[in-house]
């Protein structure tokens, strides 16, 4: 069985980039009959909070994702300690005593000499006396993983064959001086223990994948299958990293966007498929294929998402929204859905249909409106009433086209745009129409 994971850190709310990662993994699980694990990467206990974890759970559920399992890294420190001790014993983890300032100066010297700023493994050359001197100073070691300095290769499901020689990389720090873990080691251990078969994530992790493969081989000899998709840019082609705080899923939800609009946009963005509104997740599952993902950056445009939201509403049936629509009838929904961008806008149209409003009548149209009032048909009204009425107004006033219809629209709704009056008129009713034409 294929098993994938989405692993957010509960140090904030998830944004559109996170949502895309979650959805691609979710669609892969559904397409292949696999499982989806929500894993909270909360080893940073100082910054991780239950409030953020609850918020992530809310966002994931709003997107329609239903994890098969939920895991917490903070509950697995004993397991990480056991593996770390084993790696130390077998020489894969070695202690280093350099301070951050010392490492920074060393990197700058290397760059000045035209050398890559790769850690030189100076810690492996320390004598017993030098180590004891550092300990006497009160220094505590951080722990690096000793890379093999050989080619690491894998067949990426999106990028194809990838080759990275680990001699071009610094031995990664896996454990800080205070004993806390960085992301890499717990992630690899979890992928092994939870039988993760596929890791689907952004291309910013490609180099990290080479490191994780070596660590996986040191622990168990096996690695998942990897797929790295391109990252998002803004509509201007620039990276979204500085704007992600304003693109949270919570803000999309609070602004009135539909979940399936966000899901459709995030799932189809950067694929060979046209971005279009999907009313059901199954349509996305049926068309899902990692091979459709492009290697070029995908452009995210909030304006396109808003337009997609409007298109989705324009095709949404009454049964899907009946518990959320102000106005409360299928006829009303069918009348107004083509003129809204967000569902909350139905309230304004419900007010126009059911409440007393002040229409707009220009001085030059007052006589025309009076005549229109005089020839207003009696009830009952239906979909043919508008045509019967406007035909009578046209015969009585000789007006036609915009000069006929626009003054009536302004008088009845106070707006120069909106739903077809042929369907809006029966919903408004003769009594309210007479008041607005008075």
Give residue 309's pLDDT.
Answer: 98
What's the sign of the alpha-carbon dihedral 255, 261, 264, 268?
negative
16 and 266 Cβ atoms separated by less than 8 Å = yes
Cα dist. 143→121, 177, 185 in Å?
Answer: 12, 8, 11
Mean pLDDT, the chain, rounded, equals: 94
Give residue 65's pLDDT.
Answer: 98
Give residue 55's pLDDT.
Answer: 97
How confident is the model over 39-87, as pLDDT tens digits?
999 999 889 999 999 999 999 999 999 999 999 999 999 999 999 999 9
Is the pLDDT at 244 greater than 60? The verdict is no
Mean pLDDT of the 18-32 span: 98
Is the pLDDT at 356 greater than 90? The verdict is no
79-175, CATH topology level = 3.90.800
What's the sign of the alpha-carbon dihedral 95, 96, 99, 100?
negative
209 and 226 Cβ atoms separated by less than 8 Å = yes
Shortest CA distance to 173 belongs to which of 228, 119, 104, 239?
119
Q: How confident is the model at residue 246 (pLDDT cuts 50, 70, 90)?
A: low
C-alpha span between 273 and 267 (Å, rounded): 10
pTM, to two decimals: 0.91
Calculated CA dihedral for residues 384, 389, 395, 399, nearest 10 degrees:
-110
CATH class for the region spanning 356-437: mainly alpha
- Encoded tokens for 269: 């963005």
Is the pLDDT at 175 greater than 80? The verdict is yes
- Encoded tokens for 122: 């100076």
Give residue 358's pLDDT.
Answer: 81
How confident is the model over 90-119, as pLDDT tens digits?
999 999 999 999 999 999 998 888 888 999
Domain ranges of the chain: 1-71+230-315, 79-175, 356-437
C-alpha span between 371 and 365 (Å, rounded): 10
Q: How confident is the model at residue 235 (pLDDT cuts 50, 70, 90)?
A: confident
Angle subtended by helix axes 184-193 and 77-89, to nearest 10: 100
Cα angle at 2 between 183 and 158, to 5 degrees?
A: 70
Q: How confident is the model at residue 402 (pLDDT cuts 50, 70, 90)?
A: very high
Give residue 245's pLDDT.
Answer: 60
34 and 67 Cβ atoms separated by less than 8 Å = no
Shortest CA distance to 407 belongs to which of 356, 362, 349, 374?
362
CATH class for the region spanning 1-71+230-315: alpha beta
Is the pLDDT at 141 greater than 90? The verdict is yes
Longest dimension (CA), the chain: 109
Give residue 240's pLDDT.
Answer: 73
Mean pLDDT of the 170-177 span: 97
In which residue are the tokens 């036609």 written?
A: 400
327 and 349 Cβ atoms separated by less than 8 Å = yes
Is the pLDDT at 273 greater than 80? The verdict is yes
Q: How confident is the model at residue 327 (pLDDT cuts 50, 70, 90)?
A: confident
Is the pLDDT at 349 greater than 70? The verdict is yes
């Amino acid at each position: 069985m294929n098993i994938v994971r989405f692993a957010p850190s509960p140090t904030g709310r998830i944004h559109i980039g996170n949502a895309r990662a979650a959805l691609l993994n979710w669609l892969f699980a559904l397409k292949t009959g696999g499982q989806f694990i929500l894993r909270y990467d909360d080893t940073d206990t100082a910054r991780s909070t239950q409030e953020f974890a609850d918020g992530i759970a809310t966002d994931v559920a709003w997107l329609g994702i239903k994890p098969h399992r939920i895991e917490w890294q903070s509950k697995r420190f004993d397991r990480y300690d056991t593996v770390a001790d084993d790696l130390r014993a077998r020489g894969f983890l070695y202690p280093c005593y350099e301070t951050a300032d010392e490492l920074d100066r060393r990197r700058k010297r290397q760059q000045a000499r035209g050398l890559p700023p790769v850690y030189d493994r100076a810690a492996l050359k320390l004598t017993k006396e030098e180590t004891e001197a550092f300990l006497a100073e009160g220094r505590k070691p951080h722990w690096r993983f000793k890379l093999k300095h050989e080619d690491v290769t894998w067949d990426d499901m999106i990028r194809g064959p990838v080759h990275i020689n680990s001699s071009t990389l610094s031995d990664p720090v896996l454990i800080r001086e205070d004993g806390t873990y960085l992301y890499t080691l717990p992630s690899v251990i979890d992928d092994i223990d939870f039988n993760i078969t596929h890791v689907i994530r952004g291309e910013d992790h490609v180099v990290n994948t080479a490191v994780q493969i070596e660590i996986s081989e040191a622990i168990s000899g096996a690695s998942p299958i990897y797929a790295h998709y391109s990252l998002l840019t803004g509509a201007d082609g620039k990276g979204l990293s500085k704007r992600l705080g304003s693109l949270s899923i919570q803000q999309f939800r609070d602004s009135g966007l539909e979940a399936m609009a966000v899901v459709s946009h995030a799932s189809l963005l950067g694929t060979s498929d046209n971005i279009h509104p999907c009313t059901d997740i199954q349509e996305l599952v049926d068309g899902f294929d990692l091979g459709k993902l492009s290697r070029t950056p995908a452009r995210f445009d909030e304006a396109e998402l808003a337009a997609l939201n409007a298109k989705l509403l324009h095709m949404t049936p009454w049964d899907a929204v009946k518990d959320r629509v102000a106005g409360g009838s299928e006829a009303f929904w069918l009348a107004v859905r083509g003129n809204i961008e967000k569902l909350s806008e139905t309230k304004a149209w419900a007010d126009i249909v059911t409440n007393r409003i002040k229409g707009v009548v220009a001085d030059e149209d007052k006589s025309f409106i009076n005549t229109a009032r005089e020839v207003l048909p009696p009830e009952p009204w239906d979909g043919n009433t508008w045509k019967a009425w406007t035909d009578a107004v046209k015969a009585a006033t000789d007006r036609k086209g915009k000069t006929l219809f626009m003054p009536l629209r302004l008088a009845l709704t106070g707006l120069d745009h909106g739903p077809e009056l042929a369907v809006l008129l029966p919903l408004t009713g003769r009594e309210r129409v007479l008041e607005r034409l008075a």
